[in-house]
């Protein structure tokens, strides 16, 4: 998923040059022309900080829309299977209904051919012998009982078939609505990314260089913060080992089991470094952020949900100070980004469109961007 950042204080715009009124009209004209030439672009053009904030916001919005897209896509696949199952059931029941209808038809035809009716005095009188009458009555009784069973079967099958048809119709309607949500989410992602690309394309070469310098400064600050966390975790781990050294507990076995699974997830995710971020992708050639973490833990035998706001509930929440390699680190209030913690304040994640799976400080967007840490197994 796209890497996005929290809102930052907007930088001060470059003020236009305000030249005081001069004594002569000529100098006044020169000053006004100078002011018009220099001030107008500064007033009309957003500052670099504003551009950065807007681009980051667009990436954040695209990332949220990507989660909606992923959820709708997954839901669509599930609903399509349900619809297919219901339609298959309706087809089988319709076939059985037709068979029951044919059976009723055969009874009706038989009655028509034999002139079957309720036995009465006239029938008795028309019979050649009393035995003929009793034989005919017995035959009609058997036909009536079988016909009653066939009618019951037909009515039951007809009711079940109608119910299944209604269920299929409702499921088809729900699927149509979900497909509409999918289409809307896809369009939103594409539009946000297009807007971000357009804003970046309007930057001058000098502005792009300055933006890269600002990004480098932030990365350096994030690396320092990660180093601080690494030192704190080492100290905390040492203290914990000293406190529990004389004791043996099941927690050691639990930690060992998790470490084994985490090692498999980490080995997988390291092998993906350098692959491109593509929204909605789950591998093997490209990933978005939750697609990467899902694939990594699947390699360790653990099934995670598809989207970030489901993955955050797929484990045990731990403090940042207690984070272990393999844990999932979630970002922002809307939980729209996730990375796989590798230790020492660092993670591997799929950052944003145009970027590649990479190793980066969990403080890449500041400490306030970190939402939570979850241990998935």
Catalytic residues: 289, 337, 349
Residue whose structure tokens are 């796209």: 2
**Cα(311)–Cα(302) distance, integer angstroms:** 12
328, β-bridge pairs:
340, 374
Instruction: Give the CA dihedral 331, 235, 261, 277, nearest 10 degrees.
Output: 30
**Cα(315)–Cα(328) distance, integer angstroms:** 9
Residue 282 — φ and ψ, nearest 5°?
-125, 15
**Cα(73)–Cα(175) distance, integer angstroms:** 11
**Cα(325)–Cα(84) distance, integer angstroms:** 42
Q: Is 339 helix (H, G, I), strand (E, B) or coil?
A: strand
**Cα(109)–Cα(246) distance, integer angstroms:** 92
The answer to whether 340 and 267 have CB atoms below 8 angstroms apart is no
Tokens standing for residue 230: 């690494």
**Cα(172)–Cα(87) distance, integer angstroms:** 10
């Amino acid at each position: 998923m796209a890497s996005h950042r929290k809102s930052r204080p907007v930088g001060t715009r470059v003020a236009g040059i305000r030249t005081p009124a001069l004594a002569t009209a000529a100098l006044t004209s020169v000053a006004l022309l100078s002011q018009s030439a220099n001030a107008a672009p500064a007033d009309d053009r957003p500052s670099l900080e504003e551009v950065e904030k807007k681009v980051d916001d667009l990436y954040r919005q695209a990332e949220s829309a990507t989660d909606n897209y992923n959820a709708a896509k997954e839901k669509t696949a599930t609903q399509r299977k349900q619809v297919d199952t219901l339609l298959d059931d309706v087809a089988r029941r319709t076939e059985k209904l037709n068979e029951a209808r044919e059976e009723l038809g055969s009874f009706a035809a038989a009655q028509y051919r034999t002139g079957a009716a309720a036995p009465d005095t006239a029938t008795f009188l028309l019979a050649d012998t009393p035995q003929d009458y009793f034989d005919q009555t017995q035959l009609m009784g058997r036909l009536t009982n079988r016909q009653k069973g066939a009618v019951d079967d037909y009515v039951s099958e007809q009711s079940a078939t109608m119910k299944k048809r209604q269920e299929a119709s409702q499921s088809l309607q729900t699927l149509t609505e979900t497909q509409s949500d999918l289409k809307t989410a896809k369009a939103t992602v594409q539009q946000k990314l297009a807007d971000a690309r357009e804003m970046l394309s309007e930057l001058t070469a000098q502005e792009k260089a300055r933006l890269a310098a600002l990004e480098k400064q932030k990365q350096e600050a994030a690396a320092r913060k990660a180093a601080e966390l690494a030192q704190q975790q080492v100290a905390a781990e040492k203290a914990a080992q000293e406190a529990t050294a004389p004791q043996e507990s099941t927690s050691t076995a639990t930690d060992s089991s998790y470490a084994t699974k985490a090692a498999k997830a980490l080995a997988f995710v390291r092998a993906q470094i350098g692959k491109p971020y593509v929204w909605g992708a789950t591998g093997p050639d490209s990933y978005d952020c939750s697609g990467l973490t899902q694939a990594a833990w699947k390699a360790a035998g653990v099934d995670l949900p598809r989207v970030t706001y489901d993955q955050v509930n797929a484990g045990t929440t731990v403090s940042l100070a207690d984070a272990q390699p393999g844990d999932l680190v979630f970002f922002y209030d809307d939980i729209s980004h996730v990375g796989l913690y590798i230790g020492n304040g660092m993670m591997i994640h799929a950052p944003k469109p145009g970027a590649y799976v990479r190793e980066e400080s969990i403080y890449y967007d500041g400490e306030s961007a970190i939402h939570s840490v979850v241990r998935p197994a």
